[in-house]
Chains A and B, each alone.
Chain A
Amino acid sequence: MEQKYKKVAYYPGCALEGTGHSYNRSTKEVGKALGLDLVEVENWNCCGAMEVKNIDPKIQTYLSSRVMSIAANEMGFDTVMAPCNGCYHNLKKAEYDLGQDAETAEVVERLSTKAGHETYKAGQIETIHALDWIKDSLGEEGIRQRVKGGLKGLKVANYYGCMYTRPRHIFPEKDKGPGSESTLKPHYMDDLLAAAGAENVDFPLKTACCGGAHTLSDSDTSTRLVLNILRAAEASGAEVIATECPTCHSGLEMHQIRAEKKLGEKTGVKIVYFTQLLGLALGLGARQVGIHENVSDSLGFLKQKGIA
């Protein structure tokens, strides 16, 4: 049987070319190490992030649909993998809206025709997250077989944020019982990191909000929300918070410092992308997965633990 998701279209998105550079890098390296092929969507555009929908949600749907249209109609793919929660969420939402709302479909068709490309039709693309990509192609057993060194019982709090699970209706494949992802208590990252040798702590704020949408426009709120998450992770006994979204990741890093400077609240928990941890467990070098780019100084800590 052919392996699932062996070769998929890859949509990194804007953040992974900026602050989320190490997520981009570690995702590609892990893909290589696992023998999974990524083909970047040609000449992609921004999905609309969390901002464009506030100007007009249908523009966001158009932007996301253009990415899927290129992958399907110009490159012949039926799966797009997006590691960023924002991109993943927006492509999923576009898929839902185009299938459900005739007015949205009409606006997207009009904009696509004027922009000079084929209109995306609901059903052409399945959008998956980097977590689905690894979990559904290799599974925990596949990871276990390939681990070199492993995570040596590193205590990890898995943080999924908002956009990976909410709202439920745009993720029809979730909450389908045993084996499927849960929107209330997601576990794909837990599963993968446990297979790589981590010890997952019982972390109550897996899907809490980091205030990423207002990280700059309402920084005091974001700092309080992030501090909650960092404190809860530490209280759960975690040494590391594993992230799977560049906005969450940089939000946690940024407000960890801001909480220290503005509120005098110092926290020591390290913030690391799950692909970086997975890469290290597979025997990749710390630089290869961009550990040195993390703001919370995880390099020294992971070396000390004998993981990096």
Chain B
Amino acid sequence: MPIHEKSLIRPENLKTSGESLVIDGIDVSGHWSTFIQSRVVRDYDESMEQEIAALPGGEYIHRCWQCGSCTNSCTVNAINPDFNPRYWIYLIRMGMKDELLRDKDIVWQCVSCNKCTYACPRDVVPEGVMKATAHWLELKGHTAKSHSTVFDEIFSGQVIATGKIEEGRILRGFFRRTGQVLMQDWVVELVRRMIRHIPVGLLMRMGMANVLRPRTRGWGRARAALEEYVHEQEARHRKALGLDHPAE
């Protein structure tokens, strides 16, 4: 029997006792608390667990025994109770896709603090499962690329291209690709306080990093090897998710 905390039951599936309450022709009026509407689920997506397990991070999802240590320790759950790794892992393993899709826009918010992975008694690596699930949702077209994925792509693209990163370039690229104004009031304030005591020499050095991009010498061969590997993996993931047949 899965754990179904009351907060997970949708309001439309709840019957709360009032003056008079009749369920299935039986009068249950009185000082009851709550009844859960019975329902039948038929549309299980049996491939979902396999597909998520085929993406990096999702490998160990089958080990989960639903203890809930992940959700209990979760940083994001503490500020948004809808963020519930234990429940999502349950839905994925059961194949309850529609239910999972209700939360499709928040799965990516995992901050990778690894508290779940630390607490998990079954080495499920829930942090990895969250990343794999977020990627699955994007690859399957259920959600647009999250800001986090855009950031990861810009960052990793720069590392693969040059071996190093330069923060200013990544910041500007990210704000541009996500259509955000760079000079928001708090950014202006941050810059103002940053340069308050900084000597001119350091400012110039930081400016120069923009012109002379930091890079690892002789990176060309590593770059080629990494790009080849990335393409290889992308093809593998598309195949595992059945995305190579445009007719689908």
Contacts and interface: CB of A to CB of B under 8 A. Distances in A.
Contact of B202 (A21, A257, A260): A21
Interface string A50-77: 1111111111001100100000000000
B149 A54 contact: yes
B156 A59 contact: yes
A51 B194 CA distance: 25
B194 to A, nearest CB: 5
B56 A56 contact: yes
Contacts of B186: 254, 257-258, 260-262
Nearest to B150: A217
B198 A52 contact: no
B61 to A, nearest CB: 15
A19 B171 CA distance: 12
Contacts of B202: 21, 293
Contacts of A253: 190
A278 to B, nearest CB: 20
Contact of B185 (A53, A208, A261): A261
Contacts of B197: 292-293, 299
Contacts of A122: none
Interface in B170-200: 171, 174, 178, 185-186, 189-190, 193-194, 196-199
Interface stretch (A31-39, A107-115, A123-131, A138-146): A107-115
Consensus secondary structure, chain A interface: helix
Given A217-B147, A261-B185, A52 B156 contact: yes
Would you call the interface of chain B mostly helix, strand, loop, or mixed? Answer: helix
A1 B132 CA distance: 50
Interface residues of A, number: 63
Given A50-B112, A225-B111, A293-B197, A14 B214 contact: yes
A63 B109 contact: no
B76 to A, nearest CB: 7
B221 interface: yes
Given A43-B216, A297-B193, A221 B76 contact: yes
B111, B151, B160, B224: residue with the most chain A Cβ atoms closer than 10 Å: B111
10 contacts: A18-B167, A21-B202, A48-B156, A115-B222, A208-B75, A209-B111, A217-B174, A222-B111, A225-B111, A295-B193
Given A257-B193, A299-B197, 17 more contacts: A14-B166, A46-B164, A54-B148, A55-B156, A57-B57, A59-B160, A59-B229, A111-B226, A114-B224, A116-B218, A162-B113, A167-B114, A211-B75, A253-B190, A254-B190, A258-B186, A261-B186
